Amino acid sequence: MQNNFDLIVFDWDGTLMDSAAAIVYAIQAASRDLGLPEPDDRQARQVIGLGLVDALQRAVPDLPEHEYPRMAERYRHHYLSRDHELTLFEGIEALMAVLAQRGFRLAVATGKSRPGLDRALAHSGLGGYFQALRCADQCHSKPHPQMLEELMEELGAGPERTLMIGDTTHDLQMARNAGTAGLGVGYGAHLREELQALAPLACLDTVEELQAWLLAHG
């Protein structure tokens, strides 16, 4: 069976790894450390997927620019205190194995830093499945298309043969900006109706549904 896509690009947090709650906690705890108004869960979830500085600017708009480094340090402190406890969503490792067997090229485009992604890949055991990686400290933050454009160039895939999968509007808008197809997952950071507003090919509510869709339409 011929695949409709050559390259499948995954977001990491909230798409492959169940980490949204830990990110929300770290943003809120860092805000408390600096004596700033604490964003509620929804505000914090809305910035998941962005590069760290962009995320903090949006989640904590009262943060003075000179405090960005301190805020980032406190965020990392709180996130790293929990990241060893984080796990993949159930079924993700099996999905990667099936997709690799089907001959897809697989990649990651994430708002994490490269050291953070390398740590997560080592902890999760997924590192061997991906042919290329792009992070927010290597490229413009989502929804800028640079991550996808570089991945397509590196792996020799055109926009019409590339699929971006993510749990946030930032992922789906990046796909639009790069001219690729987008697929939403509704089990992560952003609400299903927010994802659907960007007209993805589909919005799947479980990893099981995601695998079924990819095997039927990928």
Q: Counting Cβ atoms within 10 Å, is residue 84 exposed (0-12), middle (13-18) or buried (19+)?
A: exposed
- Mean pLDDT, residues 177-197 taken together: 97
- The two tokens of residue 55 are 């995320």
**Secondary structure, 3-state, 68-122:** HHHHHHHHHHHHHCCHHHCCECCCHHHHHHHHHHCCCEEEEECCCCHHHHHHHHH
Domain segments of the chain as ranges? 7-18+88-217, 20-84
Q: What is the pLDDT of residue 84?
A: 84
Rg (CA), the chain: 17
Q: pLDDT tens, 97-129? A: 999 999 999 999 999 999 999 999 999 999 999
Least confident of 78-82, 92-96, 174-178: 78-82
In the structure, what pLDDT confidence band is assigned to residue 163 with cuts at 50, 70 and 90?
very high
Q: Counting Cβ atoms within 10 Å, is residue 42 exposed (0-12), middle (13-18) or buried (19+)?
A: exposed
**Model pTM?**
0.93
The answer, yes or no, to whether residue 63 has pLDDT greater than 90, is no
The catalytic site residues sit at 11, 13
- Mean pLDDT, residues 143-155 taken together: 98
Whether the domain at 7-18+88-217 and the domain at 20-84 fall into the same CATH topology? no
Q: What is the largest CA-CA distance in the chain?
A: 57
Q: Which fold has domain 20-84?
A: DNA polymerase; domain 1 (1.10.150)
CATH architecture type of domain 7-18+88-217: 3-Layer(aba) Sandwich (3.40)
